[in-house]
């Protein structure tokens, strides 16, 4: 959620101080120890429903000076759900990858607007997650992973950034063939990083590779043409 909001703030050229305030206020609510304790205890055996999750995230997203209308919140929801589902899709063979993904999300939040108070909240969340995760046996960890992915499974919204990167098909399903896909080759080793902050650099790299391949093909054709003559 914070990755998407940060990208929207930058796209709208919101001043840095106001952007920092928005991200700070949302982070403090999202990672509030009392809030997370309530979620982890009240829903220890049952996942939040879709409606409950949407209400919670809507309230959290609007807890700052930023205000979202229904249409904006719908778009935010679709982006959050589908990018997270894609990340889970890439980790579907490893329950431990769910924890790695979560920790990378937390580290990414810390990098958005680095602040001591925010880092303390992040460190506390990591500590709590480890305390909950490590006592679970491997089978229980796998069950957690499968339940999360099952919760996400019904969603097939098409996301333009994933389609542009060749990671999602036009029917909403995720691409399963990633041969020579620069974006996949990067993100498979960095699942959970801010997809918006890396895309521009990777796009430039892709264009450079494509140009190099085109030059190579052109040179090859020129040689063949010369040989035919």
59-62: long-range contacts at Cβ-Cβ below 8 A with a sequence spacing of 24 or more? 60/1, 60/26, 60/29, 60/30, 61/1, 61/5, 61/26
Domain residue extents for the chain: 1-197
Helices (H), the chain: 2-11, 16-30, 33-42, 50-61, 70-90, 96-112, 116-133, 138-152, 160-164, 182-187, 195-228
| pLDDT(132) > 80 | yes
pLDDT digits (tens, 9 = 90+) for 201-223: 666 656 654 555 454 444 444 44
Whole-prediction pTM: 0.81
pLDDT at residue 161 in the model:
87
Q: Mean pLDDT across the stretch 157-179?
A: 87
| pLDDT(3) > 60 | yes
pLDDT at residue 102 in the model:
92
| pLDDT(198) > 80 | no
pLDDT at residue 126 in the model:
94
Distance of CA 30 to the CA centre of its chain: 16
CA distance 164 to 200: 12
pLDDT digits (tens, 9 = 90+) for 36-59: 888 888 887 788 888 888 888 888
pLDDT digits (tens, 9 = 90+) for 97-129: 889 889 999 999 988 878 888 899 999 999 999
pLDDT at residue 207 in the model:
63
pLDDT at residue 197 in the model:
73
């Amino acid at each position: 959620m914070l990755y998407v909001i940060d990208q929207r703030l930058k796209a709208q050229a919101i001043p840095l101080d106001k952007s920092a305030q928005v991200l700070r206020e949302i982070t403090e609510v999202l990672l509030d120890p009392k809030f997370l304790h309530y979620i982890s205890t009240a829903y220890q055996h049952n996942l939040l429903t879709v409606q409950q999750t949407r209400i919670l995230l809507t309230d959290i997203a609007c807890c700052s000076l930023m205000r979202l209308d229904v249409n904006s919140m719908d778009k935010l929801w679709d982006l959050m759900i589908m990018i997270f589902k894609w990340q889970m899709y890439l980790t579907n063979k490893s329950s431990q990858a769910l924890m790695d993904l979560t920790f990378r999300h937390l580290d990414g939040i810390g990098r958005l607007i680095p602040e001591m108070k925010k880092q303390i909240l992040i460190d506390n969340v990591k500590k709590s997650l480890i305390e909950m995760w490590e006592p679970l046996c491997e089978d229980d960890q796998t069950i957690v992973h499968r339940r999360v992915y099952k919760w996400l499974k019904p969603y097939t919204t098409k996301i333009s950034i994933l389609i542009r990167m060749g990671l999602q098909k036009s029917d909403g399903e995720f691409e399963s063939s990633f041969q020579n896909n620069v974006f996949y080759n990067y993100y498979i080793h960095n699942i959970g990083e801010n997809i918006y902050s890396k895309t521009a650099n990777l796009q430039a790299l892709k264009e450079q590779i494509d140009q190099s391949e085109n030059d190579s093909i052109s040179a090859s054709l020129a040689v063949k043409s010369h040989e035919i003559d």
